[in-house]
């Protein structure tokens, strides 16, 4: 069955199944999800202004999205070409680098938030 032109709730179910599948299979995605929960708790405790909530949640969701895309790419590549190949290794490395870049961006947002909060003590 294709996901095109399906009602919203059916497409939402597909997306949730994908998220749960990724969480079941990938330790790094579980780690990112746990970090996201901790970040939410910190936001609730620290109660920063709404703009900081938006920045932190946007950067956190970008990390999880990048991790999901990396997982998708790795599984698709492994399925289509299970053997070792230099070019495929490079593609996987680039996908992992995309996750790293988003994580570093999210850390930068977290540092900026910490500096902001400490400057208002």
For residue 99, count other CB atoms closer than 10 A to its CB: 22
Residue 1 confidence (pLDDT): 57
Low-confidence ranges of the chain (pLDDT < 50): none
- Find the angle CA(42)-CA(44)-CA(50) to the nearest 5 degrees: 105
Residue 48 confidence (pLDDT): 97
Q: Which domains are assigned to the chain?
A: 8-119 (1.10.287.3610)
- The pTM score is 0.89
Report CA-CA distances (Å) from 104 to 1, 27, 56.
38, 19, 12
CB 80 within 8 A of CB 23: no
Residue 121 confidence (pLDDT): 83
CB 108 within 8 A of CB 116: no
């Amino acid at each position: 069955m294709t996901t095109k032109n399906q009602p919203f709730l059916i497409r939402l179910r597909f997306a949730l199944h994908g998220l749960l599948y990724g969480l079941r299979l990938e330790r790094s995605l579980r780690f990112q999800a746990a970090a996201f929960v901790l970040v939410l708790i910190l936001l609730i405790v620290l109660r920063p202004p709404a703009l900081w909530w938006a920045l932190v949640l946007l950067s956190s969701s970008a990390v999880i999205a990048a991790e999901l895309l990396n997982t998708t790419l790795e599984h698709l590549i492994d399925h289509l070409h299970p053997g070792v190949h230099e070019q495929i290794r490079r593609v996987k490395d680039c996908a992992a680098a995309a996750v790293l870049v988003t994580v570093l961006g999210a850390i930068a947002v977290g540092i900026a938030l910490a500096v902001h909060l400490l400057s208002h003590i």
